[in-house]
Amino acid sequence: MFLQGRYMTSPVLKDEVMVAIGLGEMHVSTDTNTVLACLGLGSCIGVSAYDPTARVGAMAHIVLPQGGELDCQRNPAKFANSALPYMVSEMEKKGAMKRRIIIKIAGGAKIISNVPAKSILDIGDRNITAIKIAFAEHQLTIHAEDLMGKLGRSMWLHIETGVTRVRTTTSPVIEL
C-alpha cells in the first residue's frame, strides 16, 4: 500500500483511491473512484452515509460522545452530538438529500477489558448511546450496524456502489 498524505492506493483497490479518515475527521466525496476508510476503530464510531441517487458519500470518525459548544464548532466531526448535522449539511452541499441518505455505523468496542460496564471510562458504550440519541434527534435512521465487542474494526465506503464493508481484527470482511 502506498501512502500519499491521507490518500492511499493499493493493488486490492484496483483503480480506486482510499481516503483514510483520521480521528475526529469527516470527508465527503462524489468521486466514484474513491473509497473512504476509517481504519482501526476501537471505542470510536465510524459513520458511513450514502445518497444513492446523488451518489454522494461521507464518512466520519467520531471519537467522543459529546463536546461543548466551542469544541463542536472547532471540530464538529469529533463528537457524536455535532458530527451528524455537520455531515448531512456537507453532503447536501454536494447534492444529497437527507431523506435519501443510507447510514451505517461500526465501532464502539470495549477495548479496555477491566473497565466495568456502564462506567464513565467505557467510551465505546458511551459513544454508542450518544450516536443513537443523535440519530433520533436528527430524524436519521441507522440502516445497519456492527457495534460493541472487544475488538477493533476498520470500515470502508465505496463511493461508486455505496457498499459499506467492515472487518474486525480477527474476522473476514462483511458487508453492512
Instruction: Say yes or no to pLDDT of 102 above 50.
Output: yes
Domain count, the chain: 1
Q: Is 113 within a domain?
A: yes
Q: Is 72 a catalytic residue?
A: no
- Residue in 65, 59, 63 with CA at minimum distance from that of residue 24: 63
Q: Which CATH number does the domain housing residue 125 bear?
A: 3.30.1330.200
Cα–Cα distance between 122 and 154 in angstroms, integer? 20
Which tens digit of pLDDT belongs to each residue from 146-168?
A: 998 888 899 999 999 999 999 98
Total-model pTM: 0.87
C-alpha pair distances (Å), 46 with each of 4, 66, 70, 154: 22, 15, 22, 8
Q: Which amino acid, one-letter code, is at 33?
A: N
Q: Is 131 within a domain?
A: yes
Q: Is 76 within a domain?
A: yes
Buried b (16+ CB within 10 A) or exposed e, 52-73: eebbbbbbbbbbbbebeeeebe
Contact yes or no for 105/61 (Cβ under 8 A): no
Query: Which candidate in 18, 44, 84, 123 is catalytic?
Result: 44
Which tens digit of pLDDT belongs to each residue from 49-61?
A: 999 999 999 999 9
Q: Is 176 within a domain?
A: no
Q: Is 104 within a domain?
A: yes
Structural domain of 150 = 2-171
